[in-house]
A and B are shown apart, each in its own frame.
Chain A
Amino acid sequence: MSPTLGSFRAGASPLHRLPAWSKVLTLFVWAIVSMIITDPVTALGLCAAALLLLVSILPSPKPTLKGLVFILFVAAMTASYQVYRGYVAAGIDIAADLVGLFALSLAVTGSTSMSEMLDFATRAARPFRRILPPTVPGLMFAIMLRTIPEISNIMRESRDAAKARGIRRSPSAFMIPTATRTVGFALDLGAALHARGIGDEALTDPPDSRRVRLTAPAGTN
């Protein structure tokens, strides 16, 4: 899975125990504050604090490091451009802001389960319920996260299929099947949402007491 998305790991850190809204609000305020403050020393301090918060949730090491290496590369490129133009302090500030915000967003997504995020997005969208059913924004976000690894799978399979037929250089041999299969996946996903009754907002009956119980056949699992 993408290092920045869906990296939630259950835990008991202080960040895990905070409600989702407070973490999203902190991230939002942090982003504004770090953009307003242009002092490189403060920016480095904020960046270090964000990294410590990230460490405090004990994230999965490999995807987190991969993500950090990527953002360090972006930050280094941006900073070196500023330094080249003669703005050393601005270069440090921007790089520290980028790394700090990235680390904090990883800390937030890594310590908040998708259900909590969904509940939060649903509550946050409630004032707009006349335009949009409240569950829709959260659901859209969840589907986006779920679709990313599927699309990367489709891309890999399309590339392999083109290679297996000896077509290596033609972009259309890779792009066209990827696009059509992605649309196919979207249609299947839509049918599944429909079949599961997700989004049928108007119909909210009290909980049903029927429950279908299963007994797993012995020795097959």
Chain B
Amino acid sequence: MIEFKEAAVVAPETGVPILHPTTLTLDERRITIIGANGSGKSTLARLINGLALPVSGSVHVDGLDTRKHGALVRRKVGFLFTDPSAQLIMPTALEDVMLSLRRVIRSKNERVKAALAALEDIGLGDKGDVSVNALSGGQRQLLALAGVLTATPLVVVADEPTTLLDLRWKAHVGALLHALPIQLIEVTHDLESATKAQRTLVIDEGSVVFDGSPVDAVAHYRDLMYRKAPESRA
């Protein structure tokens, strides 16, 4: 269970609020977060695994404060970034997955076996020795997901995981994410994907402006954006 208690974030130098004090309890299996660029939705997502810390208030995951127990929280919360290139560290696919396993599996042979199994599970079984630079964007995102999942998280937070992907990979990665047997919190601009959830948050100008059923949330968001778009006012 994820709990925000009056958690607020401000820009470090200017003091401009990025997220106004927010109180939320997130325990549904599938939650989506939508909002305009710069609305604060990525910051909200990053608060969950302690990549961003609140300047006031607190965020707890399974009762652990992200400020005091950051490393423990990050072991429970896997994070998938928009651009998988920055998330992949090792030169080949197999080595990158093995890197996630270094902490939990000491024996190298066991680590190779576990990493190969993870690649097989995600459909990259034949790409183990391939350089990560030679993988397509979709394959990179799958590899990043494999790296996240081998660390056996309880929650996956995905920050626009399909924004850079073509339609085929978007469908594939989206389907994999939605089939995960763990909690998934997805930040997305894909309104169709946003409705495949039990609960959707709409973020605008640093506040949660809607929290409820996905279909109503998308309608609220569309209305909000069209009202703000300069062209639609004319």
In the complex, the answer to whether B92 meets A194 with C-beta atoms within 8 Å is: no
A91 and B168 CA atoms in complex are apart in Å by: 58
B83, B90, B121: residue with the most chain A Cβ atoms closer than 10 Å:
B90
A195 and B88 CA atoms in complex are apart in Å by: 12
Known contacts A10-B129, A220-B171, A197 near B151 by CB under 8 Å: yes
In the complex, the answer to whether B104 meets A207 with C-beta atoms within 8 Å is: yes
In the complex, the answer to whether B108 meets A115 with C-beta atoms within 8 Å is: yes
Query: A168: CB under 8 A from chain B?
Result: no
Known contacts A150-B85, A189-B86, A194 near B105 by CB under 8 Å: no
Query: A12: CB under 8 A from chain B?
Result: no
Query: A216: CB under 8 A from chain B?
Result: yes
In the complex, the answer to whether A208 meets B152 with C-beta atoms within 8 Å is: yes
How many residues of chain B have a CB within 8 Å of chain A? 52
Minimum distance in angstroms from A13 CB to a CB of chain B: 15
Query: B24: CB under 8 A from chain A?
Result: no
A195 and B89 CA atoms in complex are apart in Å by: 12
Interface string of B103-144 (1 = CB under 8 A from A): 111001000000000000111000001011100000000000
In the complex, the answer to whether B180 meets A208 with C-beta atoms within 8 Å is: no
CB nearest to A186 among chain B residues: B86
Q: Range of interface residues on chain A?
A: 35 or more
Known contacts A113-B95, A114-B90, A189-B86, A214 near B104 by CB under 8 Å: no
A200 and B180 CA atoms in complex are apart in Å by: 26
Known contacts A114-B95, A146-B89, A212-B153, A1 near B131 by CB under 8 Å: yes
Stretch with Cβ within 8 A of A (4 or more), from B12-20, B74-82, B195-203, B213-221:
B74-82
Query: B175: CB under 8 A from chain A?
Result: yes
A91 and B141 CA atoms in complex are apart in Å by: 51
Known contacts A146-B91, A194-B51, A212-B149, A203 near B133 by CB under 8 Å: no
Interface string of A185-221 (1 = CB under 8 A from B): 1001101111111101011111110111111110011
CB nearest to B111 among chain A residues: A115
Minimum distance in angstroms from A41 CB to a CB of chain B: 38
B83, B86, B94, B152: residue with the most chain A Cβ atoms closer than 10 Å:
B86
Query: A8: CB under 8 A from chain B?
Result: yes
Query: B176: CB under 8 A from chain A?
Result: yes
Known contacts A212-B180, A214-B179, A142 near B122 by CB under 8 Å: no
Cβ–Cβ < 8 Å partners of B149 in chain A: 212, 214
Query: A127: CB under 8 A from chain B?
Result: no
Query: A34: CB under 8 A from chain B?
Result: no
| B binding-site residues for A, Cβ under 8 Å | 46, 49, 51, 71-72, 74-75, 78-79, 81, 83, 85-92, 94-95, 98-100, 102-105, 108, 121-123, 129, 131-133, 147-153, 168, 171-172, 175-176, 179-182
Q: A188-B87, A195-B79, A195-B81 are in contact. List 17 more A-B contacts (CB 8 A).
A: A114-B95, A135-B102, A149-B133, A150-B85, A194-B74, A195-B87, A196-B99, A196-B100, A196-B148, A197-B71, A198-B99, A203-B71, A212-B149, A214-B149, A214-B176, A216-B121, A216-B176
28 contacts between A and B (CB under 8 A): A1-B91, A1-B131, A6-B91, A6-B131, A9-B129, A10-B129, A114-B92, A135-B102, A143-B89, A145-B91, A185-B85, A188-B87, A191-B86, A192-B86, A195-B49, A195-B51, A196-B74, A203-B71, A203-B72, A207-B105, A208-B104, A210-B152, A211-B152, A212-B152, A214-B149, A217-B176, A217-B179, A221-B172
Give the 3 A-B residue pairs with the shortest CB-CB distance, closest first.
A188-B86, A195-B79, A220-B172
